[in-house]
Structure 1
Amino acid sequence: MAPDPENDNSQTPITTSDVWNLKADPVRLELMAEAWRRLGSKARSAEGKINDSAHEVFSKEYWTGDTADGFNDYRKRLTQDIERVGAWADNIAQVLDLTATTLRVQQGLLDDERDKLNAVPVSTDAQGLTFRPADAGQTGLVHSAISMANEVRGHVDGVLSEKRQDLDFYHEQFDLIAQQWQPRSIRLINLNIGQGAGNSPGASAGTDSQDLDEIAAVIADQDADVATVQEVFQHDLGSLEDELESRTGDNWDVRYEEASDKYHASDEWPVLGDRVHASFGNAVLVREGDVIGSSGDSEGVKLDVPGGQITLPGNQPGAGNHHIEDGEGRSATGTEIQIQQR
């Protein structure tokens, strides 16, 4: 005789992942929160030490002037950012603590739901949990527990998403602070290009105007921010500046200080390319960019010493025994560099 389906108590097995286990670690989050609180405390301590020391110096006018004012402005920006770091560290600690509390409370709710199924036979395999309810009551109990667990997990996912957005915000803020205070350096190259070396009609020593592209290549290849150039003729600086800007794509500010009025003999065009009275001296080339905003005031210091003479070529007016003064006067060039504010 066939069994009566209405009296059949067999139930379909129910397989599910372990939705009652968040696999969270609230203790670890709380330890991380404590570490962030310590960082906040250290930041506030550092801010206080800097401000207290600065107050001691400036209140008694131990240090005054433009440099002192510049440092004090720098100090204010620094301590303001340190204060922000301390506040953000505390906020991050609070986010982590709230997240840990949420996970602990919600895991407790899930444990309660799972305990309701202790009487239902269950096995575990790679697929998850398989419940084998004995009757319709247990089947309903399993489905209800799964539904409640998914509801709890949905709430947890919402909270975690909000906290993740909070942490992403602070991550972005710390990145901005790091960019503001990352180490910056200025690369300086000093070149004596020797335009005065052996500079007389027919002499090929030193460098000449046609060598400017090679000189610019040396400066650009070294990725220099500042190039000090000794023994250069002023009329060549425009070409050198253009070549540098073409090679680097940056603006270069050129400052020049004359050392002497000098004969410039051209190697390529002797006589025809010569300049009898060419301004000769030193130059400072400043590359404007992320670190250097511009160059400021320039100042020259003359250090003249007795020079020599050269004889004009035979086909120059007044040639023969005619000599011209060709003293290499000495000078120093100082240029103020304006550093970009952070």
Structure 2
Amino acid sequence: MATEPIDKSQAAITTDDLWDLRADPGRLELLGKAWRALGSGARSAEGKINDAAKDVFSKEYWTGDTADSFNGYRKRLTADIERAAAWADNIGRTLDLTATTLRVQQGLLDDERDKLKSVPADTGTDTLTFRPETAGQTTLVNTAIRTAKEIRGRVDTVLEEKRRDLDFYREQFDLIAKQWKPRSVRMVNLNIGQGAGNSPGNDAGTDSEDIDNIAQAITDQNADIATIQEAFGHDMADLEEELESRTGDNWDLRYAEASSKYHADDDIPILGDIMNASFGNAVLVREGDVISGSEGTGNIKLDVEGSHVIDLPANQPGAGDHSIEDGEGRSAARTEVQINQR
């Protein structure tokens, strides 16, 4: 068979290295295996939760509102675990299919590259320069380039489809992660001591002019719930307003009276005093991502009012014999906080 004579007029052909996908199918298969193992582990966890719940609820070891609430929570949780397990399996299969596609198409590219073995070529960093010696070799190189581009086009189409699939599962996992992310409620308990030193001229404890500082202390703790002891009721509305101003959030105020007592005003002595001010406990609840609101459920009286007597200024209106019973009752405010469902 006669060989085609060398034709030095043939131009060099420089092209990207189209015949190497630079892919690692083996790594994708390992990742696919890891995702399938994750799915298997999730199903195992779901089974353990459901088995334990079955033992508890089928034999009525736990009943009532809290049991119903927990069981509903469990069903939502295990349903999401089941979905996550299915998605993990699907991701594993997607990675396996991607690996198979890359292997098959790389094999086709290798075959095409083998057809050019007889054509002299220089290898650059990312390019190949073919130096065909005959017109037939020029045609061979151009045909191989065109075929390689077609193969890579098919690869890109498949990879784009798989990328969209993986993006979908990533979005689903992000939604589940957001749904079940750890949540916390931060609570601060303050005895603000408005009953301490509550007599004319005595500036012990705190008073109405200290409400802004109390609000700032609660805000500094980033509290969601503030329970307040030894508070005058008329100051708690101001505290609620101050908290809302500082945080920009809505706060629910629940106040429960323990007793009524004389409130000596340190800021405006005598004129600012209140004879029978409501005195007790308050609960302030901030609405947010975790807490939807609150409702007062009662004031639990713990004992009877005392009979501590304090002296009043002689010119205090209604002072009578210049003394007043400053009995301080004992009670507890009961507040129910509503938590947003997941």
In structure 2, C-alpha distance between the alignment counterparts of 1:81 and 1:96, rounded to whole Å: 22
Cα deviation, 1:16-57, whole Å, max 9, x if unaligned, reads 121000011111111111111111111111111111111111
Which residue number corresponds to residue 331 of structure 1?
331
Give the 3-state SS of the residue equivalent to 1:289 in structure 2.
coil
Q: What amino acid maps onto 1:293 in structure 2?
A: S
The question of whether the paired residues in 1 share the 8 Å contact of 2:229 and 2:281 is answered with yes
Which residue number corresponds to residue 313 of structure 2?
313
Q: For 1:175-254, list aligned pairs within 5 A.
A: 175-254=174-253
Give the 3-state SS of the residue equivalent to 1:134 in structure 2.
coil
The question of whether the paired residues in 2 share the 8 Å contact of 1:312 and 1:320 is answered with no
How many residues align structurally? 337
The question of whether the paired residues in 1 share the 8 Å contact of 2:7 and 2:134 is answered with no
In structure 2, C-alpha distance between the alignment counterparts of 1:31 and 1:115, rounded to whole Å: 30
In structure 1, C-alpha distance between the alignment counterparts of 2:341 and 2:259, rounded to whole Å: 37
Q: What amino acid maps onto 1:333 in structure 2?
A: A
The question of whether the paired residues in 1 share the 8 Å contact of 2:39 and 2:88 is answered with yes
Once the two structures are TM-superposed, the CA of residue 318 in structure 1 deviates from its matched residue by: 5.0
Cα deviation, 1:103-147, whole Å, max 9, x if unaligned, reads 111111101111111111112123621111110000100010011
Q: What amino acid maps onto 2:325 in structure 1?
A: E
Which residue number corresponds to residue 128 of structure 1?
127
The question of whether the paired residues in 2 share the 8 Å contact of 1:299 and 1:335 is answered with yes
- Mark the CA change 1:318 to 1:278 in structure 2 (over 3 Å): closer, same or farther: closer
Give the 3-state SS of the residue equivalent to 1:207 in structure 2.
coil
Provide TM-score, normalisation by structure 2.
Answer: 0.95
Q: For 1:1-342, list aligned pairs within 5 A.
A: 9-126=8-125, 128-304=127-303, 306-319=306-319, 321-342=321-342
Give the 3-state SS of the residue equivalent to 1:242 in structure 2.
helix
Q: What amino acid maps onto 2:333 in structure 1?
A: T
Once the two structures are TM-superposed, the CA of residue 312 in structure 1 deviates from its matched residue by: 2.4
In structure 1, C-alpha distance between the alignment counterparts of 2:71 and 2:296, rounded to whole Å: 22
In structure 2, C-alpha distance between the alignment counterparts of 1:126 and 1:162, rounded to whole Å: 30
In structure 1, C-alpha distance between the alignment counterparts of 2:113 and 2:131, rounded to whole Å: 15
Give the 3-state SS of the residue equivalent to 2:294 in structure 1.
strand
Cα deviation, 1:307-326, whole Å, max 9, x if unaligned, reads 30112211124546342210
Once the two structures are TM-superposed, the CA of residue 246 in structure 1 deviates from its matched residue by: 0.7
Structure 2 unaligned blocks of 5 or more = 1-5
Cα deviation, 1:184-227, whole Å, max 9, x if unaligned, reads 11111111111111101221111111111111111111110000
C-alpha RMSD over aligned residues: 1.5
The question of whether the paired residues in 1 share the 8 Å contact of 2:262 and 2:275 is answered with yes
Mean Cα deviation higher: 221-230 or 11-20:
11-20
The question of whether the paired residues in 2 share the 8 Å contact of 1:255 and 1:298 is answered with no
Q: What amino acid maps onto 1:315 in structure 2?
A: N
The question of whether the paired residues in 2 share the 8 Å contact of 1:307 and 1:329 is answered with no
Q: What amino acid maps onto 1:337 in structure 2?
A: V
Q: What amino acid maps onto 1:334 in structure 2?
A: R
In structure 2, C-alpha distance between the alignment counterparts of 1:257 and 1:273, rounded to whole Å: 23
In structure 2, C-alpha distance between the alignment counterparts of 1:230 and 1:280, rounded to whole Å: 9
Q: What amino acid maps onto 1:202 in structure 2?
A: G
- Give aligned-pair identity as a percent: 71
Q: What amino acid maps onto 2:149 in structure 1?
A: N
In structure 1, C-alpha distance between the alignment counterparts of 2:36 and 2:84, rounded to whole Å: 11
- Mark the CA change 1:136 to 1:64 in structure 2 (over 3 Å): closer, same or farther: same
Q: What amino acid maps onto 2:338 in structure 1?
A: Q
In structure 1, C-alpha distance between the alignment counterparts of 2:262 and 2:155, rounded to whole Å: 84
